[in-house]
């Protein structure tokens, strides 16, 4: 891979993992925030209604490529439960902040991530491109994990309004890296948005299967199924950063 000049990385399940209690804790903090603001509802009913709204709106993103946001899920659930509150209400903004605060306690770096980035920094242009609904939380997590200094650019779907595999987000990565697309690797864990999305954009994907191979929970979001009509034999697969460094020619 002597002609590679830049590398883009996914974030969740590629550079960091999330411990199993995160989602339950996040929804618990979200619910508590809403109730502290004076809203009355059954917690279990809200949990199920919120989940249904999230699934429905996430499915819509697959059709349009437009990013959704947690505030819409919360507003939809509250409206269903008889609380007509708009997504832009400060009460919901506070609840979104409470929700994502849980991830700060449960996220962990995949082993060897910092060491790998240290070796690559200065040799390649490094960028980050992540599907994440709430950009402020993603950037706070990057800072907390000590990852921010390694990436320029940092592109979050919630900030630009579209999510992978929509071509707009990959075009943004190519433009900001300032490197020919055929000389850019993109490392991600999710077959549809990361691997196929990168291929369709003319980038060279690397499939990171650490989470898959270690049978870890996929949070937030979910891993898409491997398409039956696509051969992964043509896409390099890694499960450790040592494998990636070897693929690049050794460091």
Cα-Cα end-to-end distance for the chain: 13
Q: How far apart are CA 107 and CA 143, in angstroms?
A: 12
Tokens standing for 30?
Answer: 């979200």
Alpha helices in the chain (DSSP H): 22-36, 43-64, 70-80, 90-101, 103-106, 113-120, 135-144, 157-160, 167-177, 197-200, 210-213, 241-247
Q: How far apart are CA 194 and CA 118, in angstroms?
A: 23
Confidence at 222, pLDDT banded by 50, 70, 90: very low
Q: How far apart are CA 137 and CA 101, in angstroms?
A: 8
Whether 171 contacts 129, CB under 8 Å:
no
pLDDT for the residue numbered 20: 84
- Per-domain residue ranges for the chain? 6-19+108-247, 22-104
Q: How far apart are CA 172 and CA 155, in angstroms?
A: 8
pLDDT for the residue numbered 5: 97
Q: How far apart are CA 48 and CA 27, in angstroms?
A: 11
What interhelical angle do 90-101 and 135-144 show, nearest 10? Answer: 30
The reply to whether CATH 3.40.50.1000 applies to domain 6-19+108-247 is: yes
Percent of the chain with pLDDT over 90: 86
Q: How far apart are CA 95 and CA 111, in angstroms?
A: 32
pLDDT for the residue numbered 215: 84
Query: Mean pLDDT over residues 79-95, rounded?
Result: 97
Query: Mean pLDDT over residues 85-108, rounded?
Result: 97
pLDDT of 134-155, one tens digit each? 999 999 999 999 999 999 999 9
């Amino acid at each position: 891979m002597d002609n590679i000049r830049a590398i883009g990385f996914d974030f969740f399940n590629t550079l960091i993992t999330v411990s199993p209690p995160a989602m339950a804790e996040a929804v618990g903090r979200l619910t508590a925030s809403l109730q502290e603001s004076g809203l009355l509802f059954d917690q279990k009913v809200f949990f199920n209604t919120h989940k249904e709204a999230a699934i429905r709106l996430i499915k819509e993103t697959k059709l349009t490529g437009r990013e959704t946001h947690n505030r819409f899920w919360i507003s939809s659930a509250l409206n269903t439960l008889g609380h007509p509150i708009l997504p832009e209400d400060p009460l919901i903004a506070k609840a979104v902040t409470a929700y994502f605060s849980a991830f700060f306690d449960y996220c962990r770096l995949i082993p060897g991530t910092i060491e790998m980035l240290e070796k690559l920094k200065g040799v390649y242009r490094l960028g980050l491109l992540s599907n994440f609904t709430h950009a402020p939380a993603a950037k706070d997590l990057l800072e907390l994990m000590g990852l921010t200094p390694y990436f320029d650019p940092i592109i979050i779907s919630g900030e630009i309004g579209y999510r992978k595999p929509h071509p707009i987000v990959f075009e943004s990565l190519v433009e900001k890296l300032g490197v020919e697309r055929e000389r850019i690797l993109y490392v991600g864990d999710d077959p549809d948005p990361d691997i196929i999305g990168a291929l369709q954009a003319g980038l060279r994907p690397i499939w990171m299967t650490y989470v898959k191979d270690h049978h870890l929970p996929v949070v937030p979001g979910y891993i898409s199924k491997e398409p039956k009509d696509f051969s992964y034999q043509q896409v390099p697969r890694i499960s450790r950063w040592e494998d990636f460094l070897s693929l690049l020619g050794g460091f």
